[in-house]
Amino acid sequence: MTIEGEASLPPSTTTIVYANQKSGGPRVFGAIAVVFGILGIVSNLQVMSSVSEEPLALVFFGLGAVANGLFIWAGVLLWQYKKKGVWVGFGSVAVSSLTWALPFILLEAAFSGEAGGIIASIGIFIAGINAVCCGLVVALPLLMNGNDLDDY
């Protein structure tokens, strides 16, 4: 089988437009952030109902619920391909890390010697794991598909 005919270029009035399709990465990570945020709010509200007598615990778990609400908002913004979602997510991770670490650090004063240091170290370790995992959820869309995110 052979192809017959002459090679020709398209007419000069023809414009070829290549559409750059946005990747699905920000939508996937946005959905993950929304799910993590909802699970976080549910767990914070559940714990708040069981420690209703301790005002300081209510403050920490209330801040945790706010941080998870911000994480949901960040997920929605990422779903909409907004770069602002990354920065809202980082703010949420910062507040969440503080709400994880501070109670353990405050518990350090209640224990004497090495036990207090171990308890504070556990809290800081948990806060670090939280910051890395949740930080990656909001940072990966920017790192992988930064050109797909809108500035506004």
Output 43-50 pairs: Cβ under 8 A, ≥24 positions apart.
44/68
pLDDT in tens, 21-77: 778 888 999 999 999 999 999 988 888 888 767 788 888 888 989 999 999 999 999
Classify residue 22 by its DSSP letter: P
Let me know if residue 112 belongs to a domain. yes
Domain coverage including residue 65: 25-148
Let me know if residue 13 belongs to a domain. no
Let me know if residue 94 belongs to a domain. yes
Q: Is the pTM of this model over 0.85?
A: no
Total domain count, the chain: 1
Task: Identify which has the larger pLDDT, 75 or 103.
Answer: 75
Let me know if residue 93 belongs to a domain. yes
Let me know if residue 17 belongs to a domain. no
For the chain, give the mean pLDDT. 84
For residue 20, pLDDT over 80 is answered with no
Q: Both tokens of residue 89?
A: 């997510």
- With pLDDT > 70 as the criterion, what percentage of the chain qualifies? 85
Let me know if residue 11 belongs to a domain. no
Report the pLDDT value the prediction gives residue 41, as an integer from 0 to 100: 92
Let me know if residue 14 belongs to a domain. no
Let me know if residue 115 belongs to a domain. yes
Report the pLDDT value the prediction gives residue 30, as an integer from 0 to 100: 93
3-state secondary structure at position 150:
strand
Alpha carbons within 13 angstroms on the beta-carbon side of residue 95 total 18
For residue 148, pLDDT over 80 is answered with no
